[in-house]
Amino acid sequence: MALTLAEASKLSNDVLLVGVIETIIKDSPILQSLPFIEIVGNGLTYNRESAAATASFFDVGDTWTESTPTFAQITATLKIMGGDADIDNYLIATRSNVQDLEVAVIQLKAKAVQQLFEQTFITGDATANPKSFDGIDKLCESGQTQSMGVNGGSLTLDKLDELVDTVKGGKPEILLMSRRSRRIINKLARTAGTFLETDRDQFGQMIQYYDTIPIGVSDYIADNQTQGSNNDCSSVYAMQFGEGAVAGLTGPGGLQVEQVGSLEQKDATRTRIKWYSSVALFNGLKLAKLIGVRP
């Protein structure tokens, strides 16, 4: 069963782990929504549907032709990510509130883990860096890619609707974009005499919706991508989440916070945050992107 990190944290009795998870997901629209499948082993081999089965009408006595969906076999390998948070023993001894110091140091490391996952989720390329996993930009199939033109172009609401419709089997569960692209959509909505819907997430932060679809903003979607002769372009991603769409993969136990203890090389105590994780796309029709979005 796939669980989001927020749901998984409710099952843990480890106060430190719960705090780390809350820190990681608080500012990440991806990790707030992405469900994770726990797998045993170092990876998952699965079949990605590449062509759907067809049906036909037949006359009496016709020869029936067989049609089954076709699949491509994909293997997603768990990758090791994380970092160590060291707390100097002198500071532990001299600070009046040791717990606050420990929490502050671990929170900073947790944010670093969140930023690394979010960046890799979008731009990861296991070919360029075998230690990482492929992100949605590489996982997205060519037939699911919309373009603003050979050299890019100005975003329109019609083109955004086309992106939404490229995701099949229901509406996308998130539109992921840069801050600049969100500003463009806000401007387009105001020009059309309307405004984007807003609501609060589980942390009380305001989020916007386009056609009832949450808008997620990521600082790891660049606004200087090259499209033809222009290098001021960006991308917008639309996707569904789940075991039949885009899902995260995690090793047994999920995200782990490990107390390493006192160090030999320096007068400090170490806490390690580690995560064996990856991303899988189970159905290519559940992920689409729009490229060449210019200001």
Domains of the chain: 3-49+75-134+244-284 (3.30.2400.20), 141-242+285-294 (3.30.2320)
Residue 275: pLDDT band with limits 50, 70, 90:
very high
Nearest in space to 201 (alpha carbons), one of 216, 180, 219, 184? 216
Tens digit of pLDDT for each residue in 101-114? Answer: 778 888 889 999 99
Output the CA–CA distances (angstroms, integers) from residue 42 to 78, 94, 197, 248, 287, in the order listed: 5, 43, 42, 14, 25
Distance CA 258, CA 253 (A): 12
Tens digit of pLDDT for each residue in 62-89? Answer: 998 888 777 788 899 999 999 999 988 8
By percentage, how much of the chain surpasses pLDDT 90? 59
Q: Which residue has the tokens 């990440």?
A: 28
Largest Cα–Cα distance in the chain?
A: 90
Do 124 and 134 meet the contact criterion of CB atoms below 8 Å apart?
yes
- Tell me what pLDDT residue 98 has: 57
- Tell me what pLDDT residue 48 has: 83
- The pLDDT mean for the chain works out to 90
Tens digit of pLDDT for each residue in 160-190? Answer: 999 999 999 899 999 999 999 999 999 999 9
